[in-house]
Chain A
Amino acid sequence: MITKDYVILAPQGIHARPATTLIRLTKNFKSAVSLKKGDKVVRLNSMLNILSMTIKGGETISVIIEGEDEVKATEAIDLFFTEQLKEL
């Protein structure tokens, strides 16, 4: 299991568009990916669950990745939160 913390670099936070990209990104991997903000944890496969967390710009969240390809999945997720998210 890998856990990583990220500061959300997009001003609008995780709204519908980045959430779509993120869900599709994680579908490429076998690992189970979850998102944690405060005490709340959701699976990163449901748009509704991600949106209902209301993740805003500047907030810190944790991503939990578990599965056989977790290292590769983490790399992709890392790129998403540190680079791609700024442009979405």
Chain B
Amino acid sequence: MKGIGVSPGIAIGKAFILKKAKSSISGILLKDSTEVLLEIERFDKAVELAVIEIEGIRDNSVLSDDDLAILETQIELLTDPQIKADVIEKINSDKKNANDALIEVTGNYVQLFEGMEDEYMRARAADVQDIGNRILKQLTEPGNTPPKKFEPNTIIIAEDIAPSDTITMDINYIAGFATQAGSRTSHAAIIAKSKGIPSVVGCGEELSRVNTNDVIILDGSTGLVFINPEQEVIEEYTLKRDVYRNQSVKLKALKDAPAITTDGKEITLLANISGAGDMETVFENGGEGVGLLRTEMLFMDRDSFPTEDEQFEFYKNVALRSKGKPIIVRTIDIGGDKHLPYFNLPAELNPFLGYRAIRICLDRKELFITQLKAILRASVFGDLRIMLPMISNVQEIRSAKSILNEAKVELANDTIAFNADIKVGVMIEIPSAAVTADILAKEVDFFSIGTNDLCQYTLAVDRMNEKISHLYDPYNPGVLRLISNVIEQGHKNHIEVGMCGEMASDPLATLLLLGMGLKDFSMSATSIPIIKNIIINNSESMAKQVYQKVMEMDSSADIIAYLREVVL
């Protein structure tokens, strides 16, 4: 059986079927105004008791901030004046009793939320149902319900799990959750994830085949659920479960640890991303911002250039999720190996040496200014920075900055807000830029070294050509001298220097780069814990020695062999 894996990890255990008491309408009608008043009183009392019950849980248990927030929200919903008004209206005008009135009102709101377009809001139907059930329970049998206790390694099987269920349950022994209903944003999913309990939601009708005490395996990453599996499957998954537990403990321990060397040098670990959807993974892996936001995704898979508004939405969505951390936006980097169906670039003999990136932008100013205006507009929502790719000389920077100024003036004339002091940097990926880093540094706020292109241009090696792939070698002493020069010149001119190429995520290079004085490492989010592990277990002074030693070596074979020895 397959559902949606919402909280990773593997659970193996015995099923416990969580059943919800179904409530039905009695159809009883009230006879007179005395009964009406009594029913309203009964409803008020039930709400009061339900609030007391939740407050009791809140005050008598050790809860995370997330749990606490859920309980506070429940209290707000229980005492919602709109619900009260609707229920009283039904008792007063329709002469329904409190139970029936409440069931109807709850049902209406559940329907309203379920019908919403927004996935998050749809999932709120469960919250409304939950508080409805709580009040109803107080109407039928007033008083507190003790928390449910379970045997060790219990897997909860339910139609859906209500917000307060996960809090009122004694979760210590719960190994996993599987539910028929639900989505990624449903409550059960969020809670399971925050508590690290493997969970699968949206399994559908099939899950009702499960009986209490059936042996269940669930894989919260793939969404697979096995009912009474063969011994071999159990053994295979037991092994998987233990491996996952070990890894996640190690990575988790690193997530919130600052990336500081043993002798106190602070390093910033950033992520390379392609859109707002990647932001969650960035923070999950302990990333402290974005060192490279590729904007190609915006331009690909469509029939025409995106408008300023479309681009603005894209950058704004990233900025809104950035928690105030820096986001370095690389401007259009098309051409070379990246083509657009609607932008007819003539075939070139040497596309990598041709019409691409900043060269297109400076030639087709209208494209560039549209992008810059969109980035500027989004800069009020977060710490966005602009990075220019493929810079080969200082004039290109000056031209780009003058177009940026035009963009600012246009926005200011239309009284549109933007960050006037937005930082501007360049990607160092052409050898001439690396060699003249001292000149370029005076024009910009930061450098970011793009090792992939820097390597292929320095060594005159096409990185797509398999015949010469052995020559594509970032450890070539020539490449290393260029990188080292860029970092040194950056420091001399007091600007930040980062790296967003593959080398930043290569564990072999970490100490060497650290020794050169690199401060910002940007890589795919999942590589961050591995690199952080190297940084926090080594010292800057040792890294400097590594760097000096490497610079004395004459071949990359020796350098790689030496680095292997040091790192492993």
Contact A46 B112 (CB under 8 A): no
Interface residue ranges of A41-63 to B (CB < 8 Å): 43, 45-49, 51-52, 54, 56-58
State which of A16-24, A29-37, A65-73 sits at the interface with chain B. Answer: A16-24
Residue of B nearest to A52 (CB): B112
- The interface residues of chain B lying within 8 Å CB-to-CB of A12 are 120
A11 and B381 CA atoms in complex are apart in Å by 10
From A16, A23, A43, A57, residue with most partner B Cβ within 10 Å? A16
Whether B324 contacts A54 by the Cβ 8 Å rule is no
Complex: A58 Cα to B316 Cα, angstroms: 8
- Which of B34-42, B76-84, B263-271, B560-568 faces chain A? B76-84
A54 and B320 contacting across the interface, CB-CB below 8 Å: no
How far does the Cβ of B226 sit from chain A's closest Cβ, in whole Å? 34
Q: Is the CB of A49 within 8 A of B82?
A: yes
**Any A CB within 8 A of the CB of B321:** yes
Q: B214 at interface (Cβ–Cβ under 8 A)?
A: no
Q: Nearest chain B CB to A36's CB is how many angstroms away?
A: 17
B320 touches A10 (CB 8 A): yes
Q: Which of A24, A49, A51, A86 gathers the greatest number of chain B CB atoms within 10 Å?
A: A51
Cβ contacts B114-131/A at 8 Å (1 or 0 each): 001110110010011000
- Does B321 contact A48, Cβ atoms closer than 8 Å? no
Decide: B76 and A11 in contact? CB cutoff 8 A: no
A11–B378 CA distance with the chains assembled, in angstroms: 13
Known: A51-B121, A51-B124, A54-B118. A20 touches B320 (CB 8 A): no
Q: Which of A15, A20, A51 contacts B72 (CB 8 A)?
A: A20
State whether B316 touches A15 (Cβ < 8 A). no
- Tell me the nearest residue of chain B to A87, going by C-beta: B323
Interface residues on A, range: 20 to 34
**What residues of A have a CB within 8 angstroms of the CB of B281 in the complex?**
none
Q: Is A9 an interface residue (CB 8 A)?
A: yes
Residues of B close to A19: CB separation below 8 A = 73, 76
A residues in contact with B109, CB < 8 Å: 48
B320 A9 Cβ-Cβ under 8 A:
yes
CB distance B73 to A20 under 8 Å? yes
A9 in contact with B381 (CB, 8 Å): yes
Q: Does B393 contact A (CB under 8 A)?
A: no
Cβ distance B252 to chain A, nearest Cβ, rounded Å: 23
Q: Which A residues touch B323, using CB under 8 A?
A: 86
Q: How far is the CA of A46 from the CA of B69 in the complex (A)?
A: 17
Chain B, Cβ-Cβ closest to A17: B69
A20 to chain B, nearest CB (A): 5
Residue pair A48, B121 in contact (C-beta under 8 Å): no
For the complex, give the distance between the alpha carbons of A66 and B118 in Å.
Answer: 31
A23 contact from B76, B121, B324, B381, Cβ within 8 A: B76
Q: Is the CB of B81 within 8 A of A11?
A: no
B105: nearest chain-A partner, CB-CB: A48
Q: Which of B289-318 contact A (CB under 8 A)?
A: 313, 316-317
Distance between Cα atoms of A47 and B128 in the complex (Å): 10
Which listed residue (B69, B82, B313) contacts A20, Cβ 8 A?
B69
Q: Does B113 contact A (CB under 8 A)?
A: yes
| With known contacts A9-B381, A46-B80, A86-B324, A15–B112 Cβ distance under 8 A | no
Q: Which residues of A contact B69 (CB under 8 A)?
A: 16-17, 20
In the bound complex, residues from chain B placing their C-beta under 8 Å from that of A51 are 113, 121, 124
Q: Is the CB of A11 within 8 A of B73?
A: no
**CB nearest to A8 among chain B residues:** B320
Asked whether, in the complex, the Cβ of A48 is within 8 Å of the Cβ of B77, the reply is yes
Smallest distance from the beta carbon of A57 to chain B beta carbons, Å?
A: 5
Residue on A with the closest CB to B117? A54
Q: Are A11 and B113 in contact (CB under 8 A)?
A: no
A6, chain B: closest CB distance, angstroms: 13
Give complex CA distance A58, B318 in Å. Answer: 11
**Of the candidates B80, B82, B116, which one forms a contact with A54 in the assembled complex, judged by CB atoms under 8 Å apart?**
B116
Q: Which of A47, A56, A58, A86 has the most CB of B within 10 A?
A: A47
Which residues in B have their C-beta under 8 angstroms from that of A20?
Answer: 69, 72-73, 76
* Complex Cα gap A53–B86 (Å): 18
**A47 and B76 within 8 A (CB):** yes
CA distance A77 to B77 in the complex (A): 21
Task: Pick the contact of A16: B117, B127, B316 (CB < 8 A).
Answer: B127
Complex Cα spacing A58 to B380, Å? 11
Determine if A58 and B320 form an interchain contact, defined as CB atoms under 8 angstroms apart: yes
CB within 8 Å for A48 and B116 given contacts A11-B320, A20-B73: no
A48-B77, A48-B80, A48-B109 known; A56 and B118 CB under 8 Å?
A: yes
A17-B73, A20-B73, A56-B118 given; A45·B81 CB < 8 A: yes
Return chain A residues, CB-CB under 8 Å to B80. Answer: 46-48
Interface residues of B in 68-106 (CB under 8 A from A): 69-70, 72-73, 76-77, 80-83
CB-based contact A11/B118 at 8 Å:
no
13 A-B pairs within 8 Å (CB atoms) are namely A10-B320, A11-B276, A20-B72, A23-B76, A46-B83, A48-B77, A48-B83, A49-B82, A51-B113, A52-B113, A52-B121, A54-B121, A58-B317
Which chain A residues have a beta carbon within 8 Å of chain B's beta carbons?
Answer: 9-12, 15-17, 19-20, 23-24, 43, 45-49, 51-52, 54, 56-58, 86
